[in-house]
Amino acid sequence: AEIHFLRKQNEALSMMLEKGSKDKQKESEKLRESLARKAESLEQLQLEYTSVREENERLQRDIIEKERHNQELTEEVCSSRQELSRVQEEAKSRQQLLSQKDKLLQSLQMELKVYEKLAEEHPRLQQDGSKCPEASDNSFDLFESTQAMAPKSASETPLLSGTDVDSLSCDSTSSATSPTSMPCLVAGHHMWASKSGHHMLGLIEDYDALYKQISWGQTLLAKMDVQTQEALSPTSHKLGPKGSSSVPLSKFLSSMNTAKLVLEKASRLLKLFWRVSVPTNGQCSLHCEQIGEMKAENTKLHKKLFEQEKKLQNTAKLLQQSKHQEKVIFDQLVITHQVLRKARGNLELRPGATRPGASSPSRPGS
């Protein structure tokens, strides 16, 4: 009976063992399948990691290339700005030169108007000269005599009486200011000065002052002529006392000194007039052509400046686009880095979970 009980117990234990081994086999198969799936997923993750790393390297190379291109664009912008500043300075200098040419053209036009007016008045002056030949001869002698006259110093000038000095100061108020201001005004007309010219150029104030000086000199000469005739007349020697002969002599000397000063002032005024020749049409046309060329060159510089500004704007747009692309690439790199960190964390956690299951298949064979 005990043997029969042991046999039943042995059969029950063998059945339990067989059942347990079947369960262990099923569990081990499940673990093997899970391990195969984990290995496959690990291999897939490794492949994905490799592709992501290659993509990261490619993106880094693209970033380096973009940075190099960005640096080239920055250098191009700097060079364009330098070229733009140079063109602006050149345009400014051309503009100043053009304004100077315009001022010179205006002065030439004014001179041309003066010459035309002189040419219109020249026949009338010749007609007046034919009517009054003495006046024309005197003016010619006056112009010729002033060329050979040398200026006297202040020590050689005789003293004047109070009335003579007052009369001279009243008659030459306009001529006192003209010598200081006239050289600056007439300096622009020196380019047409010519020794063989047939016209005289000067200010009307100087002409009026010269006319007053000549009139005053003629008055003094008339007075001196009267005094000379009175001194040489025989009645004055008979009727006049002995002491009265010195009075007409002092008046005569005073009038002579005054006339000398008048002539000196007239000679100084004559030096303010310039002998000029009327410019030909060829010179005016040449100047106008030069101004036209300057305007054309200025227009060309303005066009070049506009092109440089447009090029600078396009370069700035390209630089902005490259910065935007660089920002997009950087954001993509950040996302890739986060994905790689997650994948690395998953790879570090999953092998630890499979280690306990790896020892379970060895249990049935124990």
Please write the tens of the pLDDT for every residue from 60-70: 888 888 888 88
In the predicted model, is pLDDT for residue 169 greater than 70? no
Please write the tens of the pLDDT for every residue from 78-92: 888 888 888 888 888
pLDDT band at 165 (very low <50, low <70, confident <90, very high): very low
SS (H, E, C) the chain: CHHHHHHHHHHHHHHHHHHHHHHHHHHHHHHHHHHHHHHHHHHHHHHHHHHHHHHHHHHHHHHHHHHHHHHHHHHHHHHHHHHHHHHHHHHHHHHHHHHHHHHHHHHHHHHHHHHHHHHHHHHHHHHHHHHCHHHHHHHHHHHHHHHHCCCCCCCCCCCCCHHHHHHHHHHCHHHHHHHHHHHHHHHHHHHHECCCCCEEECCHHHHHHHHHHHHHHHHHHHHHHHHHHHHHCHHHHHHCCCHHHHHHHHHHHHHHHHHHHHHHHHHHHHCCCEEECCCCHHHHHHHHHHHHHHHHHHHHHHHHHHHHHHHHHHHHHHHHHHHHHHHHHHHHHHHHHHHHHHHHHHHHHHHHHHHHHHCHHHCCCC
In 3D space, the residue among 274, 165, 157, 172 whose CA is nearest the CA of residue 215 turns out to be 172
The per-residue pLDDT for 125 is 55
In 3D space, the residue among 364, 353, 365, 362 whose CA is nearest the CA of residue 35 turns out to be 353
Min mean pLDDT across 15-19, 71-75, 284-288 is at: 284-288
Q: Answer for the pair 200, 273: CB distance below 8 angstroms, yes or no.
A: yes
The per-residue pLDDT for 364 is 41
What is the chain's alpha carbon radius of gyration, rounded to the nearest angstrom? 59
pLDDT band at 14 (very low <50, low <70, confident <90, very high): confident
The per-residue pLDDT for 180 is 36
The per-residue pLDDT for 273 is 80
pLDDT band at 137 (very low <50, low <70, confident <90, very high): very low
pLDDT band at 287 (very low <50, low <70, confident <90, very high): low
Region 168-180 average pLDDT = 37
Region 110-138 average pLDDT = 58
Region 285-300 average pLDDT = 71
In the predicted model, is pLDDT for residue 99 greater than 70? yes
In the predicted model, is pLDDT for residue 278 greater than 70? no
155 vs 365, more confident? 365
244 vs 115, more confident? 115
pLDDT > 90: percent of the chain: 0
Distances (CA, A) of 208 to 132, 135, 136, 183: 20, 16, 17, 17
Buried b (16+ CB within 10 A) or exposed e, 244-282: eeeeeeeebebbebbbbbbbebbbbbbbbbbebebeeee
245 vs 302, more confident? 302
C-alpha span between 112 and 110 (Å, rounded): 5
Region 66-79 average pLDDT = 86
Name the packing angle between helices 133-148 and 2-131 (round to 10°).
120
Region 221-229 average pLDDT = 82
The per-residue pLDDT for 112 is 74
Please write the tens of the pLDDT for every residue from 37-55: 988 988 988 898 888 889 8
- Domain positions in the chain are 1-132+284-366
Please write the tens of the pLDDT for every residue from 309-347: 788 788 778 888 878 888 888 888 888 888 888 877 777
C-alpha span between 272 and 213 (Å, rounded): 14
- Please, what is the average pLDDT of the chain? 70
In the predicted model, is pLDDT for residue 199 greater than 60? yes
The per-residue pLDDT for 309 is 77
Instruction: Provide the token pair at 57.
Output: 């390297």
The per-residue pLDDT for 248 is 63
Min mean pLDDT across 83-92, 275-284, 297-306, 325-334 is at: 275-284
The per-residue pLDDT for 267 is 86
